[in-house]
């Protein structure tokens, strides 16, 4: 009887495996042992149930569909979690965004409070989530274990590889429920909803109080106040706040780059956007 049990336990699982008692692998940032290993992506978990739910993502079983937004899920459990979004069960009081659970809501609230409890020991950069710190730490080690089999591009995070593959497949599974737009990444969908379908501006400049719909807009704006110049010229000592300023400088001062010429008047511009605005002026004159 005991032999049969031992034989059953020794059978390998295709998607998951439980590490033995000598291989619990302490998480580097929270100190918790994580004995349950996913053999597909090597991610570890503290509980067997968490590993089981994670493993369902690798099976590509999408038989569970939300009857409100038609999004598919790999299990009934993840579908039930998703339905919390439609029910507004876990809703942010600051910006109105809804989440699948209380943990996700708590992490999101840090974007409003500015709390970043997880700090990199190498460069002191801080993060709102521990997994963001883990992913960031791979930058210092140069670790990129997830490789695209189509173009050989490598990634430090498996999720980034999954999203990248949509470049090759053309897949855009994230559909806007308010218009006919589709996106390859859920973060792009969320940014689209905030920019196009919402007047909510949750990101406030600490210097002038100006409000922004998405965080990257605030991040770029703050450079004006801090005089942060991230883009330096490789030919001279000039530095610039914006990338397009550097491109314009390279063209005008060092003759490096591509000029964009107007077909109507042959005037040259440093960027496609500048040319587009210029051509619109020609078109406006023609309509008068």
The reply to whether 31 falls in a domain is: no
The reply to whether 164 falls in a domain is: no
The reply to whether 59 falls in a domain is: no
The reply to whether 48 falls in a domain is: no
We report the CATH number of the domain holding residue 254 as 3.30.160
Could you identify the residue written with the tokens 């969320």?
A: 190
Percent of the chain scored above 90 by pLDDT?
A: 0
The reply to whether 14 falls in a domain is: no
Name the residue range of residue 260's domain. 231-275
Closest CA to 44 of 113, 174, 131, 144: 131
The reply to whether 39 falls in a domain is: no
Q: What is the pLDDT of residues 43-63, one digit of tens each?
A: 778 888 888 777 766 654 556
The reply to whether 78 falls in a domain is: no
Q: What is the pLDDT of residues 94-113, one digit of tens each?
A: 888 888 888 888 888 888 88
Q: What is the pLDDT of residues 138-193, one digit of tens each?
A: 777 777 888 888 887 888 778 888 888 888 888 888 888 888 888 888 878 887 88
Q: What is the pLDDT of residues 228-247, one digit of tens each?
A: 676 788 888 888 877 777 88
Rounded to whole angstroms, the Cα distance separating 244 from 225 reads: 18
Please answer whether residues 116 and 101 qualify as being in contact, where contact means their C-beta atoms are separated by less than 8 angstroms. Answer: no
Rounded to whole angstroms, the Cα distance separating 143 from 162 reads: 17
Percent of the chain scored above 70 by pLDDT?
A: 82
In this model, does residue 216 exceed pLDDT 50? yes
The reply to whether 238 falls in a domain is: yes
Q: Which helix (H) or strand (E) holds 159?
A: helix 158-169
Please answer whether residues 170 and 150 qualify as being in contact, where contact means their C-beta atoms are separated by less than 8 angstroms. Answer: no
In this model, does residue 27 exceed pLDDT 60? no
Structural domain count, the chain: 1
pLDDT at residue 8 in the model: 41
Q: Mean pLDDT across the stretch 186-205?
A: 82
pLDDT at residue 4 in the model: 41
pLDDT at residue 13 in the model: 40
Rounded to whole angstroms, the Cα distance separating 116 from 129 reads: 8
> How high does pLDDT run on average in the chain?
76
Q: What is the pLDDT of residues 39-48, one digit of tens each?
A: 766 677 888 8
């Amino acid at each position: 009887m005991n032999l049969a049990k031992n034989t059953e336990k020794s059978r390998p699982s295709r998607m998951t495996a439980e590490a033995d008692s000598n291989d619990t692998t302490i998480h580097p940032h929270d100190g918790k042992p994580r004995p349950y290993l996913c053999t597909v992506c090597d991610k570890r978990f503290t509980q067997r149930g968490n590993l089981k739910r994670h493993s369902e993502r690798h099976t590509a079983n999408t038989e569970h569909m939300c009857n409100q937004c038609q999004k598919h899920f790999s299990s009934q459990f993840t579908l039930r979690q998703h339905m919390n979004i439609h029910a507004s069960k876990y809703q942010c009081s600051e910006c109105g965004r809804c989440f699948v659970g209380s943990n996700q809501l708590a992490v999101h609230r840090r974007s409003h409070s500015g709390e970043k409890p997880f700090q990199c020991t190498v460069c002191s950069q801080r993060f709102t989530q521990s997994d963001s710190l883990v992913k960031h730490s791979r930058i210092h080690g140069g670790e990129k274990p997830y490789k695209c089999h189509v173009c050989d591009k490598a990634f430090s995070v498996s999720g980034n590889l999954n999203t990248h593959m949509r470049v090759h497949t053309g897949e855009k599974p994230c559909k806007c429920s308010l218009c006919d737009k589709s996106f390859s990444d859920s973060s792009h969908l969320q940014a689209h909803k905030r920019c196009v379908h919402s007047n909510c501006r949750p990101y406030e400049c600490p210097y002038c109080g100006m409000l922004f719909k998405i965080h990257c807009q605030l991040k770029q704006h703050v450079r004006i106040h801090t005089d942060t110049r991230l883009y330096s010229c490789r030919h001279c000592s000039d530095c610039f706040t914006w990338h397009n300023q550097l491109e314009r400088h390279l063209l005008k001062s060092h003759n490096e780059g591509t000029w964009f010429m107007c077909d109507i008047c042959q005037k040259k511009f440093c960027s496609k956007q500048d040319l587009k605005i210029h051509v619109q002026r020609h078109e406006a004159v023609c309509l008068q």
